[in-house]
Structure 1
Amino acid sequence: MLELDLAFFAVAGPAVVFAGISKGGFGSGAAFAASSILALVVEPGLALGVMLPLLMLIDVATLRPFWGKWRWPETRLLILGGLPGVALGAALYQVANADVLRVLIGVISVMFVVWQIGRARGWISVATRPLGLFAGAVVGVFAGFTSFVSHAGGPPAAVYLLSRGMTKTEYQASTVLLFWAINVAKFVPYAFLGMFTLQTGLANLALAPFALAGAWLGVKAHKLVPEQAFFALTYVLLVLTGMKLIWDGLT
Structure 2
Amino acid sequence: MLELTVGGWVLAVIAAASVGLAKGGLAMVGMISVPVLSLVMSPVQAAGLMLPIYVVSDVGGLLAFRRNFDMRVLATALPGALAGIGIGWAGAHVVPVDGVTFIVGAVGTIFALNALIRPPLKDERRSPSYARGTGWGLLSGYTSFVSHAGAPPWQVYVQPLRLSALTYAGTTTWFFAVCNWVKLIPYAALGQLSPGNLRAAAVLMPVALLSVWAGLRLVKIIPEALFYKLITWGLLAVSLRLIWQALA
Q: TM-score range by the shorter chain?
A: 0.7 to 0.9
2:64 aligned counterpart, secondary structure: coil
| Pairwise CA distance, 1:131 | 7.1
User: 1:124: which partner in 2?
Assistant: none
| Pairwise CA distance, 1:139 | 0.6
TM-score (norm 2): 0.81
User: 2:185: which partner in 1?
Assistant: 188
The alpha-carbon distance between structure 1 residues 104 and 213, as it changes in their structure 2 partners (threshold 3 A), is closer
* CA distances 1:138-163 after superposition (whole Å, capped 9, x unpaired): 01011111111111111111111112
Give the superposed CA RMSD. Answer: 3.1
Paired with 1:71 and 1:128, the residues of 2 have a C-alpha distance of: 15
| Pairwise CA distance, 1:19 | 1.5
Paired with 2:5 and 2:228, the residues of 1 have a C-alpha distance of: 36
1:25 touches 1:219 (CA, 8 Å); kept in 2? yes
Q: Which of 209, 212, 221 in structure 1 is aligned with 2:209?
A: 212
Query: What code does the residue aligned with 1:65 have?
Result: A
Paired with 1:161 and 1:241, the residues of 2 have a C-alpha distance of: 25
Alignment of 1:224-235 (within 5 A): 224=220, 232=225
| Pairwise CA distance, 1:40 | 2.0
| Pairwise CA distance, 1:45 | 2.0
User: 1:15: which partner in 2?
Assistant: 15
User: 1:152: which partner in 2?
Assistant: 149
| Pairwise CA distance, 1:200 | 1.1
The alpha-carbon distance between structure 1 residues 191 and 217, as it changes in their structure 2 partners (threshold 3 A), is same
Alignment of 1:157-176 (within 5 A): 157-176=154-173
Query: What code does the residue aligned with 2:20 have?
Result: G
> What are the ranges of 5 or more consecutive residues in structure 1 without an aligned counterpart?
121-126
Paired with 1:196 and 1:2, the residues of 2 have a C-alpha distance of: 12
The alpha-carbon distance between structure 1 residues 220 and 208, as it changes in their structure 2 partners (threshold 3 A), is same
1:2 aligned counterpart, secondary structure: coil
2:140 touches 2:154 (CA, 8 Å); kept in 1? yes
Query: What code does the residue aligned with 2:135 have?
Result: V
> What are the ranges of 5 or more consecutive residues in structure 2 without an aligned counterpart?
none
| Pairwise CA distance, 1:104 | 5.5
The alpha-carbon distance between structure 1 residues 45 and 218, as it changes in their structure 2 partners (threshold 3 A), is same
User: 1:41: which partner in 2?
Assistant: 40
Paired with 2:110 and 2:60, the residues of 1 have a C-alpha distance of: 31
* CA distances 1:209-241 after superposition (whole Å, capped 9, x unpaired): 01111222334455x379xx76x5797488547
| Pairwise CA distance, 1:114 | 4.1
Answer with 160-169 or 44-53: which moved more. Answer: 160-169
User: 1:243: which partner in 2?
Assistant: 236
Number of residue pairs aligned between Structure 1 and Structure 2: 240
* CA distances 1:87-108 after superposition (whole Å, capped 9, x unpaired): 1110012334432575366436
1:199 pairs with 2:196: yes
| Pairwise CA distance, 1:206 | 0.8
